[in-house]
Structure 1
């Protein structure tokens, strides 16, 4: 007795064409940056980006991405963003995947006409990548040394 082949759960919805995949993945990469890429840009002094910590000042002081600006999403509006350079790309982050502060900050900035990306995984993934953390109220600077563990992606 032969048994029918089980139906594929993966293929229950047809896979996209290569062109569709390319377009989708390019769009996805347009919205997000990962911690490793942000760290590399900060190490290399790329001044086209500004990293924004969207959490409270107290959380920022406990630990933040070196060079990040403390700008809680709850305080973002037309008046508080008037001083920002519209030629920059703003990369927002928060605690991690259980927090949507970076999404709220990116939304508010985009709604006000700023170009934004969201850092995937927030400070949690930053730390998991072995990146340094600055403490206190000052921005700090990104050290030139890379973590001993290289990014695996």
Structure 2
């Protein structure tokens, strides 16, 4: 006969991996998520603001090298590789205008390094989550050295039957 050990008061079952560390108190969670939104913008929100026409109230900075810029970049973005920020930012940017940085994608922290460099120089800055990868994957037009290009939206990253995802 096989028996299974039963949890006792002294050997309670471990919680699952999600709840092993309990969720934050609602006030702490609200502060965290508000802070996150102060530091980040997503691709869809940036695209929507740029598509609305007129002055979006921010400038977009592509922080990658020239070969990457030529391969594809957000229309209207300024090309300012991270390494050149200390020497060129003040010539290209107005400190009264917020900056949105991007690099390749979520597997790259180049936009984070650029955002740090800009913040240290006194700029208001947000990082565009997803970078150029998600800009292209969500089906937004981009510019290359050969002209404008666009990919079909990836159904895993963008709704195919709606203007936006509703979030």
TM bucket normalised to smaller: 0.7 to 0.9
Partner residue, 2:28: 20
What is the CA-CA distance between 1:91 and the residue it aligns to? 0.4
2:167 equivalent to 1:151: no
Quick check: which has more Rg, 1 or 2? 2
Partner residue, 2:101: 92
TM-score of the superposition, structure 1-length normalised?
Answer: 0.84
Separation (CA, whole Å) in 1 of partners of 2:139 and 2:89? 31
What is the CA-CA distance between 1:10 and the residue it aligns to? 2.1
What is the CA-CA distance between 1:13 and the residue it aligns to? 1.7
Partner residue, 2:129: 120
Does the 8 A contact of 1:129 with 1:151 survive in 2? no
The secondary structure found in structure 1 opposite 2:112 is helix
Show the 5 A alignment for 1:1-150.
Answer: 3-4=6-7, 6-8=13-15, 9-45=17-53, 46-77=55-86, 79-83=87-91, 84-136=93-145, 149=160, 150=163
TM-score of the superposition, structure 2-length normalised?
Answer: 0.78
The secondary structure found in structure 1 opposite 2:89 is coil
What is the CA-CA distance between 1:52 and the residue it aligns to? 0.3
The secondary structure found in structure 2 opposite 1:12 is coil
The secondary structure found in structure 2 opposite 1:80 is helix
Tell me the number of residue pairs that the alignment of Structure 1 and Structure 2 aligns: 145
Q: CA RMSD in A?
A: 2.2
Name stretches of at least 5 consecutive residues in structure 2 with no aligned partner. Answer: 149-157
Name stretches of at least 5 consecutive residues in structure 1 with no aligned partner. Answer: 141-146
Q: Are the structure 2 counterparts of residues 137 and 51 from structure 1 closer, same or farther at C-alpha, using a change threshold of 3 Å?
A: farther
